[in-house]
Amino acid sequence: MSVLPLVFTSGWASGINAYAVVLLLGIFGATGLSDEVPASLQRTDVLVVAALLFLVEAVADKIPYLDTAWDAVHTVVRPASGAVVAALLAGDSGSLPQIAAGALGGSTALLSHLVKAGTRMAVNSSPEPFSNVVVSTAEDLGVAAIITFAIFHPVAAAVVAAVLLVLGLLALFLLASRIRRYLRRRAERRQEREPAGAGRPRPYG
């Protein structure tokens, strides 16, 4: 129960930037700032891979349309990462609390990922790239701030994460029409790129 707030917060943050969560938790554990971080997240190879992937995401996440493709790929990656990190934080491999923590972290990560991906679709309905850079930078800073806060004040950070998750889901509901318009534009552009007569049966002879 004592690690539950950190599990929830790390799950929420993983849905936005899973690599940043692994990297930050690993650094806090390796530097001795937190005793809650398992040794597996503090390994040098894990930190190096997480840092490299974080840099890749930092670039891809700020480019219009590429960010949406990146989000689509990470629909599986982020919830899975949230579940694994949560299970590791719970400890006691194979125990019921660990399984429950993994389920909580994974489901929270999935919800926050859906909010992030949906918001990006709405942002991409505007063709200029500036908004993508602003939103992506705000997300990166938000994840860094909430994970750092969770290390020292886990319960308060979990409350903040819960409020942000609810607000995000509400915003996603309000942006639904804009997201549908974005998807319709993508479908139209895809049809325009298809060569004339593509898909029609070719006559014999």
**pLDDT tens sequence across 77-121:** 999 999 999 999 987 555 667 888 889 999 999 999 999 988 887
Overall residue count recorded for the chain in this entry: 205
Residue 200 counted as domain residue: no
Residue 104 counted as domain residue: yes
- Note whether 41 and 22 are within 8 A (CB): yes
Asked if residue 205 has pLDDT above 50, the reply is no
Residue 58 counted as domain residue: yes
Residue 77 counted as domain residue: yes
The tokens describing 158, both together, are: 């979990």
pLDDT greater at residue 81 or residue 35: 81
Residue 137 counted as domain residue: yes
Q: How many domains does the chain have?
A: 1
Give the model's pLDDT for residue 128: 61
Residue 13 counted as domain residue: yes
Residue 20 counted as domain residue: yes
Res. 194 pLDDT band, cuts 50 70 90 = low
- Note whether 19 and 117 are within 8 A (CB): no
Whether the model pTM is above 0.85:
no
Encode burial over 52-66: b for 16+ CB neighbours within 10 A, e otherwise: ebbeebeebbbebbe
- Structural domain including 63 reads 4-193
Residue 199 counted as domain residue: no
71 Cβ contact list (under 8 Å, min separation 6) = 113, 116, 117, 120
